[in-house]
Amino acid sequence: MPHTASSHHRTERLDQDHDGIRRAARLLRQGALVAFGTETVYGLGGLATSQRTVERIFKAKGRPSFNPLISHFASADAAFAEADMAIPLHDMARRLAQRFWPGPLTLILPRHAKSRIAQAVTAGLETLAVRVPKGRAVEDLLRLAGAPIAAPSANRSGRVSPSTARHVLDELEGRIDAVLDTGPCAVGLESTVLDLSGSHPILRRPGGVTLEELQEICGPIIVADHAGAADGTSHPNAPGQLSSHYAPSLPVRLDATHAQPDEAFLTFGDTQAETVSSSLTLNLSPDGNVEEAARRLFASLRQLDQSASRQGLVGIAVAPLPDAGLGRALKDRLKRAAAPRPTDSAAPPT
């Protein structure tokens, strides 16, 4: 009975061929936890309509229950069917969907009164996060599953997001029923979260679709401060925006022009020889290509973290990165990785 697997079961590995995708879809329909790759990062999927399954997602991740999940759909029609579209920004939502779905954009919309999405998904909020992800395997999977699939990033809460099936297994082996190996993720950073539930669009999390691209369709967009202080509540609107997140175990130092002898160095672009002072240096993109840097960020952080600890280094220095376009999302994730960590006893904020 794979759907009742607990921490003592082995996690099934599935290939992204016809049989693997069908098996993954069947498991999802039965209420199992199945991780799969999207164009952004790997998600830890489960039936969004099953309160019990969704509770298992939170448990497997060690995620605090107040942090809501994104529901994934095979089509914009299916996504909008769960939302109350009698809202001021309904037309903007449809145009964004037309332009960017399938793709790395999540929309926050008011929840439809008759939505079948389980309460645990939205953590008691009146709004719903919906997205139609891109990728041959994930698109087939969602079509075959035929139901909304809730999927946070498939990492332990507060840790670096996974961009390969290996990363998923490193943290969740035995805690989830299966992983569909869809290869490395094409974008490498999570989806952009755009809140359309009010009278003006609000950027809650920078991600794979850039602010500039969104502005072409939306016009001016309010950029939410960290931790969703925009709504004045103590619980953030996008808790992924809380300070410490995407955290490797070594401290991260941003905008570093040099690494200290006891630091690993994560660089970007053409690096002059004298600045490469560390024995452990990784370049996110020697050509200064921000898309390439995005694809490699999370894997690089994991790799540096492991090698640095082995070599007795005490931190990770990160070179300056571009501010615009995808650079905004890259810097956002790095800033979070650099933020002070909650102590182990405090609830981590993912």
Quick check: 38 binds Mg ion (CB under 5 A)?
A: no
End-to-end CA distance of the chain: 30
Among 38, 50, 153, 267, binds Mg ion (CB under 5 A): 153
CA atoms of 303 and 286, how far apart (whole Å): 17
Nearest to 348 by CA among 55, 31, 35, 62: 62
- Least CB distance from residue 88 to Mg ion, whole Å? 29
- Least CB distance from residue 240 to Mg ion, whole Å? 5
Q: In this structure, what DSSP letter does residue 278 have?
A: S
Nearest to 131 by CA among 54, 34, 208, 29: 208
Quick check: 40 binds Mg ion (CB under 5 A)?
A: no
- Least CB distance from residue 242 to ligand TXA, whole Å? 8
SS3 150: strand
Quick check: 67 binds ligand TXA (CB under 6 A)?
A: yes
Please identify, using beta-carbon distances, which residue of 200 and 253 lies nearer to ligand TXA: 200
- Least CB distance from residue 248 to ligand TXA, whole Å? 16
- Least CB distance from residue 155 to ligand TXA, whole Å? 8
- Each residue 98-137 as x (binds ligand TXA by CB under 6 A) or -, in order, gives ------x-x-x-------------x--x-xxx---x----
Asked whether the beta carbons of 189 and 245 are under 8 A apart, the reply is no
Q: Which of residues 239-258 bind Mg ion (CB under 5 A)?
A: none
- Residue located via tokens 């953590």: 123
CA atoms of 63 and 55, how far apart (whole Å): 10
**Site stretch for ligand TXA (CB under 6 A), options 7-15, 37-45, 139-147, 176-184:** 37-45
Beta bridge partners of 179: 13, 35
Please identify, using beta-carbon distances, which residue of 57 and 308 lies nearer to Mg ion: 57
Q: Locate 255 and state its tokens.
A: 């905008």
Quick check: 164 binds Mg ion (CB under 5 A)?
A: no
- Least CB distance from residue 331 to Mg ion, whole Å? 17
Quick check: 191 binds Mg ion (CB under 5 A)?
A: no
Quick check: 210 binds ligand TXA (CB under 6 A)?
A: no
- Least CB distance from residue 31 to ligand TXA, whole Å? 19
Quick check: 164 binds ligand TXA (CB under 6 A)?
A: no
Nearest to 73 by CA among 12, 148, 135: 148
Burial 104-118 (b: 16+ CB within 10 A, else e): bbbbbbbbbeebebb
Quick check: 179 binds ligand TXA (CB under 6 A)?
A: no
CA pseudo-torsion sign 277, 281, 284, 287? positive
CA atoms of 309 and 258, how far apart (whole Å): 19
Asked whether the beta carbons of 268 and 253 are under 8 A apart, the reply is no
- Least CB distance from residue 271 to Mg ion, whole Å? 30
- Each residue 254-293 as x (binds ligand TXA by CB under 6 A) or -, in order, gives ----------------------------------------
DSSP H or E segment with residue 92? helix 90-100
Please, how many CA atoms are within 13 Å of residue 161, restricted to the half-sphere of its CB?
32
Quick check: 245 binds ligand TXA (CB under 6 A)?
A: no
Residues that bind ligand TXA (CB under 6 A): 38, 40-41, 43, 67-70, 104, 106, 108, 122, 125, 127-129, 133, 151-153, 190-191, 193, 204-205, 237-240
